[in-house]
């Protein structure tokens, strides 16, 4: 049974009461108030470390050295990257308008570099300590077949649509029937053509035309047909409706530069866009590094003959075509040999180049 509290005991209780009340209030405040934690000190599960990257397209006249220097990257890293790519694709051969991406780690250390060589190939370089590993990747396309046709009013180029891709298609079609039709002098208004051609698509976007699979051309009432074939070793050509095989100029003229296929007619078409070039013929010549390379024989416009130098043409070409298509050798000539029908006699020029190369060995 509890006894009555004495006066001295009462005084001690009253003395402790303010402290007890204060402790009770503090405990209630802590329970009700959520714990505040500095979030910057606690790693978040949703936060991941993102490597910084540099992306862009090659500007006219720009080199990989310029890209590294302008972005404050270590030029010693660039030297190691060039060493790694020496047997795959020379990093010094980058072309205007081609995209690139550089991924960086701590202290701007290069983790990887990708560069799109052309429409078909991608160069990838990844860090593999103590150096880098380089690889050339073939870019996949979705191939669709398309049927085209038209009527000649003035020329084949205009009948196909009058753009860059139409020009390449016109060259391909004219090469197929080059033995039967001179597309410079033989075309007549009202001539007709039909084509089945590959369209190459990537990411839902049309990139360019591929192979012409079948073609028909009616010139001055005479109809010519061609159908493409490809052998297991990769060689290709065309046969007519009676089953006779023939090889087009385009296939015979192909230049193999470090494994890249260069079509002279395509390079010639681009060279004709230069305001100082009157005529051009592209042939193959020997190259100690690439095996074979592109040579352009050019007739300049009269007003440009004392002003334009071969290196000017090469510099211009670097800004207007892929690096592997650029003529490494440019020779100015007074005139180009022609056939009886007025076509440039490229075979004569190629054979003369082959004889000159043989005489030097």
Give tens-digit pLDDT for 98-107: 999 999 999 8
For residue 114, which of 86, 94, 144 has the smallest C-alpha distance? 94
Identify the pLDDT of residue 35.
42
Mean pLDDT to the nearest integer, 132-143: 93
- pLDDT tens for 289-343 read 778 999 999 999 999 999 999 999 999 999 888 888 999 999 999 999 987 656 7
Identify the pLDDT of residue 76.
92
With 60 as the cut, is the pLDDT of residue 112 above it?
A: yes
Query: Band of the pLDDT at 236, cuts 50, 70, 90?
Result: confident
State the span(s) of the chain assigned CATH 3.10.450.350: 53-138, 140-251
Query: Band of the pLDDT at 154, cuts 50, 70, 90?
Result: confident
Percent of the chain beyond pLDDT 70? 81
State the span(s) of the chain assigned CATH 3.30.300.30: 254-361
Percent of the chain beyond pLDDT 90? 46
Question: CA-to-CA distance for 72 and 74, rounded, in angstroms?
Answer: 7
Identify the pLDDT of residue 256.
85
Identify the pLDDT of residue 175.
81
- pLDDT tens for 32-54 read 444 444 444 444 444 445 568 99
For residue 349, which of 300, 279, 302 has the smallest C-alpha distance? 279
Can you spell out the DSSP letters for 183-248? TTTT--TT-EEEEEEEEEEETTEEEEEEEEEEEEEEETTEEEEEEEEE-TTS-EEEE-TTS-EE--
Winning range, highest mean pLDDT, from 15-29, 239-253, 272-286: 272-286
Mean pLDDT to the nearest integer, 161-190: 81
With 80 as the cut, is the pLDDT of residue 22 above it?
A: no
Identify the pLDDT of residue 307.
94
Residues 6+ apart with CB under 8 A from 123: 85, 88, 89, 91, 113, 114, 115, 116, 117, 134, 135, 136, 137
> CATH number of the domain at 140-251, please?
3.10.450.350
Architecture of the domain whose range is 53-138: Roll (3.10)
pTM reported for the whole predicted model: 0.51
Identify the pLDDT of residue 252.
63
With 60 as the cut, is the pLDDT of residue 263 above it?
A: yes
Question: CA-to-CA distance for 268 and 281, rounded, in angstroms?
Answer: 6
Identify the pLDDT of residue 134.
95
17 or 167: which leads in pLDDT:
167
How far is residue 349 from each of residues 89, 284, 291, measured CA to CA in Å?
30, 10, 19
Contact 314, 298 (CB under 8 A): no
Identify the pLDDT of residue 37.
43
With 70 as the cut, is the pLDDT of residue 347 above it?
A: yes
Identify the pLDDT of residue 188.
93
Residues 6+ apart with CB under 8 A from 296: 267, 271, 280, 281, 282, 313, 327, 329, 330, 331
Residues 6+ apart with CB under 8 A from 311: 330
With 60 as the cut, is the pLDDT of residue 251 above it?
A: no
Residues 6+ apart with CB under 8 A from 344: 279, 281, 336, 337, 338
With 60 as the cut, is the pLDDT of residue 89 above it?
A: yes
Identify the pLDDT of residue 46.
47
Identify the pLDDT of residue 43.
45
Architecture of the domain whose range is 254-361: 2-Layer Sandwich (3.30)
Q: 26-30, 61-65, 188-192, 236-240: lowest mean pLDDT where?
A: 26-30
Identify the pLDDT of residue 28.
47
Mean pLDDT to the nearest integer, 163-190: 82
Question: CA-to-CA distance for 228 and 241, rounded, in angstroms?
Answer: 11
Q: What share of the chain is helix, strand, coil (3-state, %, to 5)?
A: 30, 35, 35
3-class SS letters over 79-118: HHHHHHHCCCCCCCCCCCCCEEEEEECHHHCEEEEEEECC
pLDDT, mean over the chain:
83
Identify the pLDDT of residue 116.
93
Mean pLDDT to the nearest integer, 143-166: 86
């Amino acid at each position: 049974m509890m006894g009555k509290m004495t006066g001295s005991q009462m005084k001690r209780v009253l003395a402790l009461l303010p402290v007890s009340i204060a402790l009770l209030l503090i405990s209630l405040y802590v329970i009700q108030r959520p714990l505040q934690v500095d979030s910057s000190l606690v790693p978040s599960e949703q936060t991941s470390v993102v490597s910084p990257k540099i992306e862009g397209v090659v500007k006219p006249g720009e080199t990989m050295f310029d890209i590294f220097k302008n972005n404050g990257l270590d030029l010693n890293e660039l030297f190691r990257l060039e060493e790694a790519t020496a047997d795959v694709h020379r990093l010094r051969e980058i072309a205007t308008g081609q995209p690139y991406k550089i991924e960086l780690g701590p202290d701007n250390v290069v983790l990887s570099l990708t560069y799109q060589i052309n429409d078909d190939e991608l160069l990838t370089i990844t860090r593999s300590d103590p150096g880098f590993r380089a690889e050339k990747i073939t870019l996949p396309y979705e191939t669709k077949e398309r049927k085209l046709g038209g009527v000649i009013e003035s020329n084949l180029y205009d009948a196909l649509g009058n753009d860059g891709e139409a020009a390449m298609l016109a060259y391909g079609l004219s090469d197929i029937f080059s033995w039967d039709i001179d597309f410079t002098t033989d075309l007549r208004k009202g001539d007709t053509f039909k084509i089945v051609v590959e369209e190459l698509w990537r990411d839902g976007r049309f990139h360019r035309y591929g192979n012409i699979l079948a073609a028909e051309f009616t010139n001055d009432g005479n109809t010519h047909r061609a159908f493409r074939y490809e052998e297991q070793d990769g060689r290709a050509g065309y046969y007519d409706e009676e089953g006779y095989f023939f090889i087009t100029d385009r296939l015979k003229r192909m230049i193999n530069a470090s494994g890249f296929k260069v079509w002279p007619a395509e390079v010639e078409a681009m060279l004709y866009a230069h305001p100082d070039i009157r005529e051009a013929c592209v042939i193959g010549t020997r190259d100690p590094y690439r095996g074979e390379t592109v040579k352009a024989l050019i007739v300049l416009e009269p007003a440009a003959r004392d002003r334009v130098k071969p290196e000017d043409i090469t510099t211009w070409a670097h800004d207007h075509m892929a690096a592997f298509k650029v003529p490494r050798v440019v020779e100015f000539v007074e005139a180009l040999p022609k056939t009886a029908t007025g076509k440039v006699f490229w075979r004569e020029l190629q054979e003369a180049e082959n004889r000159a190369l043989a005489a030097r060995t």
